[in-house]
Chain A
């Protein structure tokens, strides 16, 4: 954790935005390692795929479209900002004195619903990974909401910079184009990525369907699946990758995933249960939960993958 703090300070000081973005990638990886140490394997998985993968690529895309150097003369750094930050930090540290110590099993957070999930989910849901059963079943409403947020954010990106007439800059395109040319002619990159991409996609599918038993699920699978395509687009050609998955298809899947999720909820209502109560989907409740979770996770995976691909292509196409 001390390592993370050091990176944080480095980010604050550096003016070269390219280095900053790279550091945030390392920062995310460190965070992922930390999550593993703290037993949150699902979270670590997501952080490693998202933080170190997709968001770094998006940040770099933005840098290519704008500028990679922060203005050098220091206007900011007013002492008041520092004072404010230090005072807030001291107040927060004062607040932590009332917190239960690290790892305390009697802490308030472990007394409420969590024991119920841990004891009952084995029988009620029949899924080994408690995180998955809480995510998709007990807290299905929350997750549906999250999927809608992703959906909305992707639509927002498409609306803001996705219009075809937009993107008339020339000067920045050159540098990016040269970079991509050098990547495209690099034999090692081409061969290795060609070998790796099928496995990345296969791994994404494994993560998708194995989420019931081990760490994994729709969110991680969607991100990994998207990163396979993004790798292809980075090393080969964005237009080739785009022709593989046209914009129409990503938009369709984007909506289809959300629709599948909400549709499962409506279907369980039609069959006589509550919204997103999967027990009625099959003859016995546990089987119904299984079907429900699989379908819902698939919906999540579809939306997340489509959203990430759509967002990436929207950024990437600006340079063309």
Chain B
């Protein structure tokens, strides 16, 4: 029973490691950004999981309800999601620019070109 309570965290870690693996093992820059996104979502899920209180409801005040989930992580993650998409867009813009300069978005090919010049 004790371990069932932790299974959410474990899946978060599996997701996080999947994202991490994509970032370090792939050369394609877009794939790297997707990996970062998965990593990011896993952190979001981690926070939201911590915020959950058993028997609680969404933190919108209403009569007759006494247990609410913790609103603070919700606030942090809500803003983090929008900031996340803005920074992802910045990353994608850099990828487009890199493609324009090098003609490729594969990390190793870019490094090869750098070595030649």
Name A residues whose Cβ lies closer than 8 Å to a Cβ of B: 1-2, 4-5, 8-9, 11-12, 17, 20-21, 24, 27-28, 31, 34-35, 38-43, 46-47, 50-51, 54-55, 58-59, 61-63, 65-67, 70-71, 75-78, 81-82, 84-86, 88-89, 92-93, 96-97, 99-105, 107, 109-110, 113-114, 117-118, 121-122, 128-131, 134-135, 139, 142-143, 146, 149-150, 153-154, 156-157, 160-161, 166, 169, 213-215, 217, 219, 222-223, 304, 307-308, 311, 314-315, 318
- Chain B's closest residue to A219 (CB) is B82
Inside 8 A of A217's CB, which chain B residues have their CB? 78
Asked if A43 and B74 make an inter-chain contact with CB atoms under 8 angstroms apart, the answer reads: yes
Asked if B78 and A76 make an inter-chain contact with CB atoms under 8 angstroms apart, the answer reads: no
Asked if B96 and A315 make an inter-chain contact with CB atoms under 8 angstroms apart, the answer reads: yes
Asked if A81 and B95 make an inter-chain contact with CB atoms under 8 angstroms apart, the answer reads: no
Q: Which applies to chain A's interface (DSSP): helix, strand, loop or mixed? A: helix
Inside 8 A of A62's CB, which chain B residues have their CB? 30, 92, 95-96
Beyond the given A85-B20, A213-B60, please list 19 additional residue pairs across the A-B interface where CB-CB is below 8 A. A5-B18, A8-B14, A20-B31, A39-B69, A40-B48, A50-B84, A51-B81, A58-B88, A59-B30, A59-B34, A62-B92, A65-B99, A109-B73, A114-B70, A118-B59, A129-B59, A129-B61, A139-B75, A150-B82
Asked if B89 and A58 make an inter-chain contact with CB atoms under 8 angstroms apart, the answer reads: yes
Other-chain residue from A46, A92, A109, A149 in contact with B51 (beta carbon distance below 8 A): A109
- Chain A's closest residue to B84 (CB) is A50
Asked if B20 and A157 make an inter-chain contact with CB atoms under 8 angstroms apart, the answer reads: no
In the complex where A39-B57, A75-B27 touch, is A156 in contact with B93 (Cβ < 8 A)? Answer: yes
Asked if B9 and A96 make an inter-chain contact with CB atoms under 8 angstroms apart, the answer reads: yes
In the complex where A27-B38, A70-B31, A117-B72 touch, is A128 in contact with B60 (Cβ < 8 A)? Answer: yes
In the complex where A82-B21, A101-B2 touch, is A131 in contact with B78 (Cβ < 8 A)? Answer: yes
Asked if A66 and B81 make an inter-chain contact with CB atoms under 8 angstroms apart, the answer reads: no
- Chain A's closest residue to B56 (CB) is A39
Q: Which applies to chain B's interface (DSSP): helix, strand, loop or mixed? A: helix
Q: State in angstroms the CA–CA spacing of A70 and B50 once bound together.
A: 37
Measured CB to CB, the closest approach of chain A to B72, in angstroms, equals 5
Q: State in angstroms the CA–CA spacing of A43 and B26 once bound together.
A: 30
Measured CB to CB, the closest approach of chain A to B96, in angstroms, equals 5
Q: State in angstroms the CA–CA spacing of A132 and B62 once bound together.
A: 15
Inside 8 A of B93's CB, which chain A residues have their CB? 156-157, 160-161, 311, 314-315
Measured CB to CB, the closest approach of chain A to B99, in angstroms, equals 4
Other-chain residue from B41, B82, B108 in contact with A304 (beta carbon distance below 8 A): B82
- Chain A's closest residue to B70 (CB) is A114
Inside 8 A of A128's CB, which chain B residues have their CB? 60-62
Other-chain residue from A4, A86, A107, A118 in contact with B71 (beta carbon distance below 8 A): A118
